[in-house]
Structure 1
Amino acid sequence: MKITGYRSLTTTHDWGRPVGDVNGVVASGVTEVPILLLETDGGLTGIGLGQHGDIDRVFPAVEGQDPRAVTALYDSMLAHVFKSGHAGATYGAIAAVDMALWDLKAKMADEPLWRTLGALDRFVPGYASGLCYGLDDEAFAALYRGWAARGYNSAKVKGGRDIGRDIARLLAARDILSANTSHPALMLDVNEAWNVKQAVRHLAEIEARLDLTWIEEPVRRWDAEGHARISRACRAAVATGENLTGLDQFAPLFDARGVDVVQTGSVWGITHFLRVATAAHARNLPVSPVGYNANPVAHAAASLPNMIGIEVQDWKMPAGLTVDQTIADGGIRLGDAPGLGIAVDEAALVARTAPGWNSAGGPHRRPRQAGLRLVPDGPQAAE
């Protein structure tokens, strides 16, 4: 079987609520979901999810190749663009192809990807994460009650701008999830909104009120020394890495001992996640993949010895996608459909009707005052 071509599609995910973080919020709750279809001469189609605007740059590295050679083709794509750079958007395109290749490999074996990757158990433990920064208190509580009803006993709250609000929301989540456990795991994600000394001060205040499991992305992603200083100063674990691409970008964090929970973005692909997880395992560190539509990396997470929990952002799926998995019992139960278990109904796809993730006020744009505020301010303060 050979790879012969590709097609790009787009659908939307209607979250039914505003979604975002301290950097910004998509008020409409409607975001775009790019889909890559990798075609073969054998009649099978591989499915990859995520932005792949640079697909034309990387596709020549896989065209005409046997899709079963996934890891070799992954390295081939990196090599193909090594002079012009392969971080950022280009890495996203490589990741989408990588997902589609793994999907094809498992489909050729007529088994779900979690079996192809050697997992023993189809259940992947997770934690609830509602991208909840833009919700008012009532909507916030309703969202996490929904997660509690699905058996979740761990939750991540978005914050980083108003420490009083952050503490109140962590305590509210703790109370809600106490229906499932006497000691819920609580995480705070501030999406690089603090500087090092702010992080130390704020964490001291938080930890005086509650037991924080981890603080996520407290400072800029490349500040390995800063992450290490924060980790030494607080009881909570420091989690980071979702915006890093390639082992070379993780190396400074590992060398500085600046990360306690190693994260990878699902949008960077399955091979990337497996390699980072192996590097983390060699250092006795747990790994956690960041959530994404249809949770494709859950298949890889199921196979790892050091997986601490996958982020689950919603229990609904994008329009036109049928996904063989169940969001329940505090995690993801993967099914038996071949490959990633994702089926695309092209007639049911919904084109983007709102600015989505890339809107001017959305979470993908860093505010001018991030890390530069002398005092906490309200979530609606002007930039």
Structure 2
Amino acid sequence: MKVTGYRSLTTKHDWGRRTGDVNGVMAEDRTDVHVLILETDEGLEGVGIGPHGDVGRVFGAVEGEDPRAVPALYDRMLARAFKTGHNGATFGAIGAIDMALWDLKAKAAGEPLWRTIGGRDRFVPGYASGLDIALDDDALVALYERFTERGFRAAKLKGGRDLDHDLRRLEAVRDVLRRNTARPALMLDANEAWHRSQAVRCIAALEQRVDLTWIEEPVRRWDAAGLAAVRRGVRAAVATGENLTGLEQYRPLLDADAVDIVQVGNVWGITHFLRVAAVAHSRDLPVSPVAHHGNPLAHAAVAVPNHLTFEVQDLVAPIGLHIDQEFQDGGIVLGDRPGLGIRVDEAGIQAARAADGPAAVHGPHVRPARAGLRLGPDGGREEA
């Protein structure tokens, strides 16, 4: 079997709500979902999920190759971008191809990927995470009630701008989750909004009323000294890593003893996750994937010894993607469909795209002008 080509599709995820974080909010309820389909000479096709605008730059590393040699082809793609670097969009393309290669490998074996990788149990423990900063209090409670109905006992909220706002919302979600457990796990994601001393002050103030399990990205992702300072100054664990593009970027954080929960972004691929999990395991640290559409890393999470919990952002699939998984007992239950369990309805996607206008290009992926430069915990006057 040889890789012969690829197709790129863009569909939509209909959240039924506005999504975002401290850096901004998406303009619409629907957001783009990018799908890569790898073609082979035997007619078998592999599916990868995630932005892959640089796919043409690295596809030559896998073209004509047997897709079952996934780790070797992953390294071949990294080598293809050796001089110019594999950060950002290029690493995203490598991740999407990597997912599709793993999907092909498992499909060729006629089994779900979680079996191919070596998982024993199809259940992936998780936590609810609604990308919820745009919701008012009533909508927030209603959202987490839906997660609670699926057995979730842990949740992560977006915050970092207004301390009183964060506290009120954390307490509200804690009360909802108490229907399933007396001691819910609560996390807060500041999305790199604070400087280190501000982070310690704000987290310490929250901890007077709320037992935080972890604080996520309290300062910039590469600030090893800052993350270590926050870790020393608060009770909550420090989680980070979703935006690190390459195994080598974790080294300074690990060497500085700056992280308690090692996170990995789904969009960077399965091989990357497996390698980061192994490095974290060598430091006796747990690993936790940050979610993306279809939750592809869930198949790998069941095969590593140090997986802690998996982020679940929504309970429905993007338009045109039929995914063999369920959300029960506070986690993901993987199915038996071969590969990643993702069936792509290309006709349905094309019809949905034709009826939908282009998405606005702004929101949580644009860093605000005064991020990390606010004096008080309430944020003060916001600047455009």
Length-normalised TM-score, structure 1? 0.98
SS of corresponding position for 1:351: helix
Could you tell me how far apart the structure 2 residues matched to 1:366 and 1:299 are?
32
Contact preservation (8 Å) 2:369, 2:383? no
| Offset at residue 379 of structure 1 (A) | 9.3
Please report how far the alpha carbon of residue 376 of structure 1 lies from its aligned counterpart in structure 2 after TM superposition: 3.3
Are 1:202 and 2:164 matched, yes or no? Answer: no
Give 5+ residue unaligned stretches, structure 1: none
Question: Does the 8 Å CA contact 1:267/1:292 hold for their aligned counterparts?
Answer: yes
Distance 1:379 1:269, change over 3 A: farther
1:364 partner letter: H
The alpha-carbon deviation at position 382 of structure 1 amounts to: 4.1
Aligned to 2:375: 374
The code of the aligned residue for 1:359 comes to V
Contact 2:103–2:113 at 8 Å: present in 1 too?
A: yes
Structure 2 equivalent of residue 16 of structure 1? 16
Kept after mapping to 2: 8 A contact 1:193/1:370: yes
Amino acid of the residue matched to residue 38 of structure 1?
Answer: L
Distance in 1 (alpha carbons) for counterparts of 2:234 and 2:291: 26
- The whole-number CA distance in structure 1 between the counterparts of 2:246 and 2:382 is 36
Q: 1:355 Cα shift?
A: 5.2
Q: Which residue of the partner structure matches residue 278 of structure 1?
A: 278
Residue of 349, 353, 359 corresponding to 1:351: 353
1:5 alignment counterpart:
5
Residue number in structure 2 paired with 1:246:
246
CA contact (8 A) 1:121 1:302 kept: yes
Deviation readout 1:279-314 (Å, 9 max, x if unpaired): 000000000000100111100011111111000000
For 1:370 and 1:354, locate their aligned partners in 2 and report how far apart those are by CA, in whole Å: 31
Displacement after TM superposition at 1:354 (Å): 5.2
Aligned equivalents of 1:16 and 1:187: distance in 2?
A: 23
Instruction: Give the RMSD, CA atoms, in angstroms.
Output: 1.2
The answer as to whether partners of 1:31 and 1:354 remain within 8 angstroms in 2 is no
| Structure 2 match to 1:92 | 92
Partner SS for 1:213:
strand
Which residue is equivalent to 2:32? Answer: 32
Cα distance between partner residues in 2 of 1:256 and 1:228: 7
CA deviation string 1:50-105 (max 9, x = no partner) = 00000110000000000000000000000011111111000000000000000000
Give 1:119's aligned amino acid.
G
User: How far, CA to CA, are the matches of 1:302 and 1:166 in structure 2?
Assistant: 32
Deviation larger for 25-34 or 308-317: 25-34
**1:143 alignment partner in structure 2:** 143
Output the amino acid matched with 1:189: D
Q: State how 1:156-195 maps to structure 2 within 5 Å.
A: 156-195=156-195
Q: Which amino acid aligns with 1:375?
A: G
> Is the 8 Å Cα contact of residues 28 and 354 (structure 1) preserved in structure 2?
no
Q: Deviations over 1:140-171 (max 9, x none)?
A: 11001111111000000000000111111111
Code of the residue aligned with 2:374 in structure 1: it is: R
Mapped partners of 1:283, 1:108: distance in 2: 35
Matched residues, percent identical?
64
Contact 1:36 1:97 in 2 (8 A): yes
1:118 and 2:128 equivalent? no
State the secondary structure of the residue aligned to 1:293. Answer: coil
One-letter code aligned to 1:351? R
Contact kept, 8 Å, 1:194 with 1:371, in 2: the verdict is yes
**Is the CA contact (8 Å cut-off) linking 1:12 and 1:31 kept in structure 2?**
yes
Secondary structure, counterpart of 2:353 in structure 1: coil
Partner of 1:141, secondary structure, is: helix
* Partner Cα separation in structure 1 for residue 245 and residue 272 of structure 2: 8
- Give the CA deviation at 1:377: 3.6
| TM-score normalised per structure 2 | 0.97
Q: CA deviation at 1:374?
A: 1.1
Contact 1:5 1:63 in 2 (8 A): yes
